[in-house]
Amino acid sequence: MKGRKPLTIEDLIQEIIRKNKVVIVEGKKDVARLKKLGVLKVVSLSRMPLCVFCEKIAENHDEVILLLDNDFEGKKIYSKLKNELSYLGVKTNPEYQKNLKRLKISHVEGIKIKEE
């Protein structure tokens, strides 16, 4: 994904599917939406403390995709997750989140594709 910018949301979703990494989102509606679009490895933040959630992710994954809402709360969570996961040795690629913003998508659960 580095250096390449998906031109459409369809391109971004296909890139995420091709990458085949776990995608971390904020809530259950985000999980449902991405699964409906064909992204199968999706987990939502749970009610456990963020550091515990990140430790559980780090036990099984060396790289993840963060797709958080582009609102104040989502940006705050994105920053905390990115820092904590990085500290634990888990790679995150900021291009996926940047592409959501470029495509003017504010909430993951609201992603729409042309075929729908």
Is the pLDDT at 2 greater than 70? The verdict is no
109: pLDDT strictly greater than 60: yes
Given a cut of 90, whether residue 17 has pLDDT beyond it is yes
| Tokens matching residue 64 | 């993840």
Q: Is the confidence at residue 57, as pLDDT, over 80? A: yes
In terms of Cβ atoms closer than 10 Å to its own Cβ (0-12, 13-18, 19+), residue 1 is middle
Cα→Cα distances 21→60, 73, 76, Å: 11, 24, 22
Q: Does the domain spanning 9-108 belong to CATH 3.40.1360.10? A: yes
* Alpha-carbon gap, residue 74 to 76, rounded angstroms: 5
Band of pLDDT at residue 16, cut at 50, 70 and 90: very high
Answer whether 0.85 is exceeded by the pTM: yes
| CB 106 within 8 Å of CB 69 | yes
Share of the chain above pLDDT 70, in %: 93
* Cα–Cα distance list, 3 to 25, 36, 55, 99, 113 (Å): 23, 28, 30, 12, 23
- pLDDT at residue 114, as a whole number: 72
Pairing of strands 91-92, 22-25: unpaired
- For 70-88, what is the mean pLDDT? 95
Q: What's the token pair of residue 25?
A: 């989102």
Q: What is the pLDDT of residue 26?
A: 94
Predicted local distance difference test score (pLDDT) of residue 3: 53
Q: Which amino acid is at 45?
A: L
**Domain spans, the chain:** 9-108
32 token code pair: 């449902």
What pLDDT was estimated at residue 116?
Answer: 59
